[in-house]
Structure 1
Amino acid sequence: MNDRPGEGEDTGPQSASGLTIISYLLGGLAFWGGAGWLVDRALGYEALFLPIGLLLGLVGAIYLIITQYVRS
C-alpha cells in the first residue's frame, strides 16, 4: 500500500490529454458523420453528405486539438 497521497498517480493535465484528443476525434467523426447521415436520409441521397460530415468532423476535431494543445 502506498500511504503518500499523489505518489504514483498520474493525474496531471498530460495524463488526460491523450484521452481527450481521442475523444475529440471520435466525437467529431460521430457527431458530424451522424448529422451527414441524417441529411442523406432526409433528402434521399445514398452517400453524399455522410463523407462531407465525416470530413467536417475530422477537420473540426483537429482544429480543436491544435488550438488547445499546440498553441498553448
Structure 2
Amino acid sequence: MNDRQGSDREPEPKVDAMAIVGTLLAGPLCWGGIGWLADWLTDRATPLFLPIGILLGLGGSIYLVWRRLPKH
C-alpha cells in the first residue's frame, strides 16, 4: 500500500517550449513559402498567395499547438 498522496494519478505531461516555438515558426514559413512559389509560378506583380499562405500556416500551427497542450 502506498502512503503518498496523489500517487494514484498519472504524472502530468510536460510542455516542450521549443517544440511549441518551432511549430509556430514552421507553419507560416512553410505555407508562406508555398504561397510565394505560387505567386512566382503565376507571375503575379503583387503577392496574393504569400499572405494567404502565411495566415493559413499561422492558423494551422496555432491549432496544432492547441491540440498538443495538456488538458486540465
Relative to total residues, which structure has the larger helix share, 1 or 2? 1
Q: How does 1:11-30 map to 2 (within 5 A)?
A: 13-14=14-15, 17-30=16-29
TM-score (norm 1): 0.73
Q: Distance in 2 between matches of 1:68 and 1:23?
A: 13
DSSP 3-state at the match of 1:13: coil
Q: Which has the higher contact order (CA 8 A, sep 6+)?
A: 2
* Structure 1, gaps ≥5 residues long: 1-11
* Structure 2, gaps ≥5 residues long: 1-12
What's the counterpart of residue 55 of structure 2? 55
TM-score (norm 2): 0.73
C-alpha distance after superposition, 1:26-50 (max 9, x if no partner): 1101100000000000001221000
What's the counterpart of residue 7 of structure 1? none
What RMSD over aligned residues (CA atoms) do the two structures have, in Å? 1.8
